[in-house]
Amino acid sequence: MRADTRFEGDDLRQMDPKFQEPRYSQYLRAVERLDALAQERFGRRAIHLALAWR
């Protein structure tokens, strides 16, 4: 997801506080930092590590 992602229709994220400002921007920044750390330490994107973690 990105800062300009819009949730439409009956998407429950429209009402979820986690997807409302200021939290949404905070979560996006945290994911960016986590992704940078994953790339630095493991040479992989965070999503790849999340999938391998299972």
Q: CA-CA distances (angstroms) from residue 46 to 7, 14, 17, 36?
A: 23, 25, 24, 8
State the amino acid at position 1 in one-letter form. Answer: M
Query: What is the model's pLDDT at position 41?
Result: 95
| Residue spans per domain, the chain | 15-53
pLDDT along the chain (54 residues), means of 10: 93 95 96 96 92 76
Total-model pTM: 0.79
Query: What is the model's pLDDT at position 53?
Result: 74
Q: Which residues of 2-35 are buried (b: 16+ CB within 10 A; e: fewer)?
A: eeeeeeeeeeeeeeeeebeeeebeeeeeeeeeeb
Query: What is the model's pLDDT at position 48?
Result: 92
